[in-house]
Structure 1
């Protein structure tokens, strides 16, 4: 399995027009999601591991080393908590897709931990099992990744879908010790304290549940959190956080994705419900936005020099954001961008070496694909947008 290597400029590009089949209008950026295979971990392989304390049981996590894994360097990690068992998923670690869909199998270690059942003998497929055991497993797992697989302890992100989105707080902020593990959070569909869960002692009644969730969410401690939800309406989560009085405890970025608009045919060959964790693997504007956010936060944690925009015509491209993922001249770089309009494309990308002559990088026959070397001395990147038969003025990014 090899994800497409050419997707180096990730733009938010909306697809319009009628569809005879949902996937005819959407491009999958990977060949497929990796299957779990037997054997030892290796680049591009997803394998099952068991921590020493659980040997002899069925408790296990999944580990994927990125295809470009180099044991001589440290890597950021996406730790993914899975969703529940339900009509369109079996609740196992093998059913997880979110982390791989976001990273496309490169640059990040991806690991899917279990929810440990109350007996400590197997993975739990519905809700938390034993929350204390599960939290302890994540603590041991983080240390295992750092010691054995070159995980950077400063760059471990926690992400989750559905049950896992709630679990980012319910498990990931269970106590002060586990809360310190994470450099940032990313969740899709659901949130701790969003609604009550009748029949679940931990999630009912709502007032008591929200009081406990608020105590957990205070442990975010100002860190970055990408909060995504499916649907046409604006995100419900700012109001939820405000109601619980914890909106100021994190640097939250709220986003929505209308899955039914993007994929009018559901079920389809890839997922059975709009409530799914596969969608970031498709070439959608919302997928680009998630990768842009992740790369920006990870760059900041590394102290990587990025590019800072001079100005942008707010009327033409309001809400534009861009980050160049390399500050080292002579090395390969990728651009991650977030464009707000349906028809907007980058049509021209030019480097200027200080006050020297421009170096044209591409005229963008495919506007989503840029991979280029950073020329020595480069300090200024300029670009133009095209939309509806028009071209924008030249915009500039200067090195910070």
Structure 2
């Protein structure tokens, strides 16, 4: 992301949201918004590029398949930044989508498919980062799950985990992704999956440098319906985080049992010491399209992202 892109948020700070900085007794950073808006009231300054046919290239977003999945319906989406050149090393954003089909009373929509994701593009403005949007797999390993992972009632995560463990190293190798600078981001289901899948076992947990879970968090709400949604299981997964940073954000207005404050309290009561930043988006929408609009939150998140992918600055994993 260029310096000009990083500073593009400033003109509409007053329009988008006002943020207050608070520091908890545990030393975590908490940013709360004093205003709440609908995303429709703030014009987007970014548009996710349409899907293109053919192989990946600079500035193009394409569907692609892993070796071994050519005869299945499974695909992921690859975006190479506008400044991409072969042989150069880049930080990576791996993104996981929300559940679908979903539509909120405010008109927010999620399809549950990889091509619907937006966080990585809004974070990078299309420059400086490889962006890989990965699917969730059904139990047969041949089709995409748009609700959670696997199939009800068992919601077996193993086909999805196998895909991620293959995809991340292979995609990094193919396009110059730096395996020491891989950020896992997710919206809604994807936010929960940052820990549920991203920290599921030691092998997959080693893939990530930092995490951006937007809207929900593994273990805060225990009645989603899939196995091991309880806090005890979530805390076992959280132990694999170590000191790697997480930027935890959420829209304003969710129920008290699922909102940002609930996540903060959950982590503070967990006994887990980590590098957590909590921030509201400033919008009421359950919609990752907020990241395509200028706001104080987006600016802060971009600055944080630049810091965590700076070579030599990666916090050690416990």
What is the TM-score of this pair, normalised by structure 2? 0.81
SS in 2 for 1:259: coil
2:129 & 2:39 partners in 1: Cα distance? Answer: 27
1:8 & 1:16 partners in 2: Cα distance? Answer: 16
1:55-78: per-residue Cα shift (whole Å, max 9, x none)? 100011110000111212100000
1:41-67: per-residue Cα shift (whole Å, max 9, x none)? 001111111111211000111100001
Aligned-residue offset at 1:184:
0.6
Question: Alpha carbons of 1:106 and 1:4: their partners in 2 closer, same or farther (altered >3 Å)?
Answer: closer
Partner of 1:236: 262
Question: Alpha carbons of 1:24 and 1:137: their partners in 2 closer, same or farther (altered >3 Å)?
Answer: closer
Partner of 2:14: 14
Partner of 1:106: 127
Aligned-residue offset at 1:243:
3.0
Aligned-residue offset at 1:238:
2.0
2:145 & 2:204 partners in 1: Cα distance? Answer: 20
Partner of 1:124: 145
1:55 and 2:70 matched:
yes
Q: 1:192 aligns with which of 218, 224, 233?
A: 218
SS in 1 for 2:309: helix
1:257 and 2:281 matched:
yes
What is the TM-score of this pair, normalised by structure 1? 0.65
Asked which structure has the greater RCO (Cα within 8 Å, sep 6+), the reply is 2
The structure richer in strand per residue is 1
Aligned-residue offset at 1:80:
0.3
1:95 & 1:285 partners in 2: Cα distance? Answer: 24
Q: Residues 214 and 245 of structure 1 are in contact (CA less than 8 Å); yes or no, is this contact kept in structure 2? A: no
SS in 2 for 1:243: helix
1:296 and 2:307 matched:
yes
Q: Residues 4 and 29 of structure 1 are in contact (CA less than 8 Å); yes or no, is this contact kept in structure 2? A: no
Structure 1: any 5+ residue segments left out of the alignment? 204-208, 261-273, 305-400
Of the structure 1 ranges 86-95 and 36-45, higher mean CA displacement relative to structure 2 is found in 86-95
Q: Residues 2 and 128 of structure 2 are in contact (CA less than 8 Å); yes or no, is this contact kept in structure 1? A: no
SS in 2 for 1:110: strand
Quote the RMSD (CA, aligned, Å).
Answer: 2.4
Aligned-residue offset at 1:245:
2.9
Partner of 1:149: 175
2:282 & 2:302 partners in 1: Cα distance? Answer: 17
1:275 and 2:286 matched:
yes
SS in 1 for 2:250: strand
1:161-181: per-residue Cα shift (whole Å, max 9, x none)? 100000001110010010001
1:137-170: per-residue Cα shift (whole Å, max 9, x none)? 1111111122211000110110101000000011
Aligned-residue offset at 1:6:
4.4
Superposition map of 1:330-345 within 5 A: none
Q: Residues 229 and 256 of structure 1 are in contact (CA less than 8 Å); yes or no, is this contact kept in structure 2? A: yes
2:129 & 2:300 partners in 1: Cα distance? Answer: 17
Q: Residues 229 and 235 of structure 1 are in contact (CA less than 8 Å); yes or no, is this contact kept in structure 2? A: no
Question: Alpha carbons of 1:175 and 1:157: their partners in 2 closer, same or farther (altered >3 Å)?
Answer: same
Question: Alpha carbons of 1:198 and 1:286: their partners in 2 closer, same or farther (altered >3 Å)?
Answer: closer
Q: Residues 159 and 165 of structure 1 are in contact (CA less than 8 Å); yes or no, is this contact kept in structure 2? A: yes
Q: How many residues are aligned here?
A: 277
Partner of 1:219: 240
Structure 1 or 2, whichever has the larger Rg, is 1
Aligned-residue offset at 1:26:
2.7
